[in-house]
Each structure stands twice: as structure tokens, then as C-alpha cells.
């Protein structure tokens, strides 16, 4: 009897571990919903790693479902209200990825400001060896940084930036206890006061297009946007428009509106650093995320308290 259904593509170690827990595997939510009635009726827990929308209609297909264990801290693909209404628990994998995600945010910031992609090409192409010096670029340390969303990941980014002697500003639903960082009551005033804006809010309907044209204009022509959150948080058309016009100095993006198809207009821009949604993608962290997902599933099957419940 299949009690655990694994949805999504997992690495070798996670697949083996889920297999040992008796999981049945399907590649995506559509394939899960297409299983026959008897197979779906048996499912009490789902290990979910994927895109696609785990909505009310999808939950309808699993009448015995008690747990959706999400692989990832962001659970915007799951309709949590619908789950709550059906007494389906949802868990995620917070904290274990904070360092990696913050590392990548800072790395993109440095790469963009110091034009490291272009500098690397300058050496590889032999242009430097031919005697052409690399053009001077932008000093990043000691500037002003804004964190949009001072949650666990936002805090780690700010903490790293403080070591770069940055003046730290942030917006969050409420002021936090911080070491001298400046709180802003609204995102617009944050953007107006900083050179570099790091997007670290959760994804989902309540933050959709939070970074819109008006906010990008407040960030201004010297401003740089770094996004490690979700593509949905940024109005991508507005961002591309400003980058193409030089109304924004640049961007570092690990997430996009329509992954994995990043808008080809981004690739034409010299002022952006682009990453394939890989902020948490280190062996160590993905291993820890998988373990936490499975620990939640094991707790559920054993009737114990879930480790990291979302609702
Ligand atoms: C993963 C992420 O890429 O944790 C998240 O919210 O965005 C990433 O760490 C994703 O969850 C993999 O499915």
C-alpha cells in the first residue's frame, strides 16, 4: 500500500532515501493527479518538489492526504489555505538553506558591481594580455543596502553586508531588533534611500509585483536590484524596461517570472548577472533540505509533532 507519494525530480541520495520509506515516484503534479483512483486513495503523505500549482483541485484528487512535505523554504506553489481547510498539514525546509542563499545574493552583488563576468572574459579572451586594461568599475563596500523582507534569509544577507561596511536599511512587516539597521515603514521609502536593493520576501499572492515600476524608479539610475526570492515579486516587464533604458544600473537575478525560461531580453544586457535558481543548490544544503523533508514525513507517519510546519 502506497502511503507516500513523491512528486518531482530528486537526486540519487534523496530518491534512495524516499524509496526506503516506501515512496511511489511521479515526475510532476499532473502525473500524480493522473494516477488511478485506488493509487490516489492510498496516499496519505506527499513529498513535494516542484513547480505547478498544488491547489484545491489537485488536493481533491487525494482524499486521504494528511501531509504535503515541501522540498524548499518557499511554499508558494501550495495553496496553504486550501490545505488548512482540509486539515492537510504542510511543512517546508527553512533555515538549512539560509547561508547558501545569502552567499549567492552577496556574490551576485559583488559580481554585478565589480563587473566580474566581463573581467573574467577580458582575461580569457587575451584582451588583457594584449595590453588593454580593464575599465574601472563601481565600489560596492561602504554603500547603502536595503533588504526587502528581513526574515531569516534577509537577516543573513544583512549580516554579511554589514561586514562589507554597508549602511543597512530594511523593510519588514514590523521593526525588528537589529544592530543599528534602519527600519522603513514602506518598501517605497526603502528603495528611495538605498543604492542596492535585496529582495528577500516570501513569494505568493501577497508579494506579487511588490517591486513594481514605481519602486524601481525610487531605486533610480544608480540602483541595483538583487533577487533571490521569487520571480513573482518583481514586475519583470517594468524591470526590463528600466534596465534597457539605463533607468536602473543593474540587477542580479537568481529567480524569474517563468522559470526555467528566463526572458531572452535579460541575456542581451551587460548590466545583469543571471543565475539558474541555484541559491540553495549546494550538495550540503540540498542534502539537509531533503533530510528535513523526510524527517517531517517520518514524524507524520509516527504521529509525532512535525518539525517545521507551515500551518
Ligand atoms: C529550491 C527554493 O530551488 O527553498 C526554496 O524556496 O527556492 C530553492 O531552495 C527549490 O525549493 C527546489 O525545489
115-127, pLDDT tens digit by residue? Answer: 999 999 999 999 9
| Mean per-residue pLDDT of the chain | 97
Report CA torsion sign: 237, 243, 249, 253.
Answer: positive
Cell triple for residue 44?
A: 496519505
Domain regions of the chain by residue span: 4-94+283-301, 98-274
Q: Hey, whose CA ends up nearest to atom 6 of ligand 1?
A: 74
Q: Which fold has domain 4-94+283-301?
A: Rossmann fold (3.40.50)
Atom of ligand 1 nearest to the CA of 285: 9
Query: Is the ipTM reported for this complex over the cut 0.90?
Result: yes
Instruction: Please report which confidence band the pLDDT of residue 2 belongs to, taking 50, 70 and 90 as the band edges.
Output: low
Q: What is the pLDDT of residue 44?
A: 98
Residue 267 reports pLDDT greater than 70: yes
Atom of ligand 1 nearest to the CA of 101: 9
Report CA torsion sign: 181, 184, 185, 190.
Answer: negative
**Alpha-carbon span 51 to 134, nearest angstrom:** 41
Cell triple for residue 248?
A: 536602473
Instruction: Please report which confidence band the pLDDT of residue 277 belongs to, taking 50, 70 and 90 as the band edges.
Output: very high
Going by C-alpha positions, the residue among 215, 197, 211 that lies closest to residue 143 is: 197
Is 302 an active-site residue?
Answer: no
Q: What is the mean pLDDT of residues 39-50?
A: 96
pLDDT: which is higher, 309 or 50: 309
Q: What is the pLDDT of residue 203?
A: 96
Q: In angstroms, what is the C-alpha Rg of the chain?
A: 21
Residue 311 reports pLDDT greater than 90: no
Strands (E), the chain: 4-7, 24-26, 45-48, 67-70, 89-91, 144-148, 167-171, 182-184, 196-199, 224-227, 250-253, 272-274
Q: What is the mean pLDDT of residues 178-190?
A: 97
Going by C-alpha positions, the residue among 85, 155, 6 that lies closest to residue 311 is: 85
With a CB cutoff of 8 Å and minimum separation 6, the contacts of 126 are: none
**Alpha-carbon span 40 to 28, nearest angstrom:** 14
Asked if residues 266 and 19 have their Cβ atoms less than 8 Å apart, the reply is: no
Measured CA angle at 160 (ends 70, 135), to 5 deg: 110
67: β partners: 45, 89
Q: What are phi and psi of 96, to 5 degrees?
A: -65, -20
**Which candidate in 3, 61, 152, 277 is catalytic?**
277
199-229, pLDDT tens digit by residue? Answer: 999 999 999 999 999 999 999 999 999 999 9
Residue 1 reports pLDDT greater than 60: no
Ligand 1 mutation target, pool 93, 152, 280, 284, most atoms within 8 A of CB? 280
Q: What is the pLDDT of residue 217?
A: 98
Ligand 1 mutation target, pool 9, 275, 279, 285, most atoms within 8 A of CB? 279
Q: Hey, whose CA ends up nearest to atom 1 of ligand 1?
A: 72
Distance 255 CA to ligand 1 centre (A): 10
Q: What is the mean pLDDT of residues 157-184?
A: 97
Is 259 an active-site residue?
Answer: yes
Ligand 1 binding pocket, CB closer than 6 Å: 49, 71-74, 97, 277, 280
pTM attached to this predicted model: 0.96
Instruction: Please report which confidence band the pLDDT of residue 52 belongs to, taking 50, 70 and 90 as the band edges.
Output: confident
The domains spanning 4-94+283-301 and 98-274 adopt the same CATH topology: yes
**Which candidate in 230, 242, 286, 294 is catalytic?**
230
Q: What is the mean pLDDT of residues 62-79?
A: 97
Residue 90 reports pLDDT greater than 90: yes
Sheet containing strand 89-91, edge to edge, reads 24-26, 4-7, 45-48, 67-70, 89-91
Q: What is the mean pLDDT of residues 272-286?
A: 98
Q: What is the mean pLDDT of residues 248-272?
A: 98
Q: Which CATH class is domain 98-274?
A: alpha beta
Amino acid at each position: 500500500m502506497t502511503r507516500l507519494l513523491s512528486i518531482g525530480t530528486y537526486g540519487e541520495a534523496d530518491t534512495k532515501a524516499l524509496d526506503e520509506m516506501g515512496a511511489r515516484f511521479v515526475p510532476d503534479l499532473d502525473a500524480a493527479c493522473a494516477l488511478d483512483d485506488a493509487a490516489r486513495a492510498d496516499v496519505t503523505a506527499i513529498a513535494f518538489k516542484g513547480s505547478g500549482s498544488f491547489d484545491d483541485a489537485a488536493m481533491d484528487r487525494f482524499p486521504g492526504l494528511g501531509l504535503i512535505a515541501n522540498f524548499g523554504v518557499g511554499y508558494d506553489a501550495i495553496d496553504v489555505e486550501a490545505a488548512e481547510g482540509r486539515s492537510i498539514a504542510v511543512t517546508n525546509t527553512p533555515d538549512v538553506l539560509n547561508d547558501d542563499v545569502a552567499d549567492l545574493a552577496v556574490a551576485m552583488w559583488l559580481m554585478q558591481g565589480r563587473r566580474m563576468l566581463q573581467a573574467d572574459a577580458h582575461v580569457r579572451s587575451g584582451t588583457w594580455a594584449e595590453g588593454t586594461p580593464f575599465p574601472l568599475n563601481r565600489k560596492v563596500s561602504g554603500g547603502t543596502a536595503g533588504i526587502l523582507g528581513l526574515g531569516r534569509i534577509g537577516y543573513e544577507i544583512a549580516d554579511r553586508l554589514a561586514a562589507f561596511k554597508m549602511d543597512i536599511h530594511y523593510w519588514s512587516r514590523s521593526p525588528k531588533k537589529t544592530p543599528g539597521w534602519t527600519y522603513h515603514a514602506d518598501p517605497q521609502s526603502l528603495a528611495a534611500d538605498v543604492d542596492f536593493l535585496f529582495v528577500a520576501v516570501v513569494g505568493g499572492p501577497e508579494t506579487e509585483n511588490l517591486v513594481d515600476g514605481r519602486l524601481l524608479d525610487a531605486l533610480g539610475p544608480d540602483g541595483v536590484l538583487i533577487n533571490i526570492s521569487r520571480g513573482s515579486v518583481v514586475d519583470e516587464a517594468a524591470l526590463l524596461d528600466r534596465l534597457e533604458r539605463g533607468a536602473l544600473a543593474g540587477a542580479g537575478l537568481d529567480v524569474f517570472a517563468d522559470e526555467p525560461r528566463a526572458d531572452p531580453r535579460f541575456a542581451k544586457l551587460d548590466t545583469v548577472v543571471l543565475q539558474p535558481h541555484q541559491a540553495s543548490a549546494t550538495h550540503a544544503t540540498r542534502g539537509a533540505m531533503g533530510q528535513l523533508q523526510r524527517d517531517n514525513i517520518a514524524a507524520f507517519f509516527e504521529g509525532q509533532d512535525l518539525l517545521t510546519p507551515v500551518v
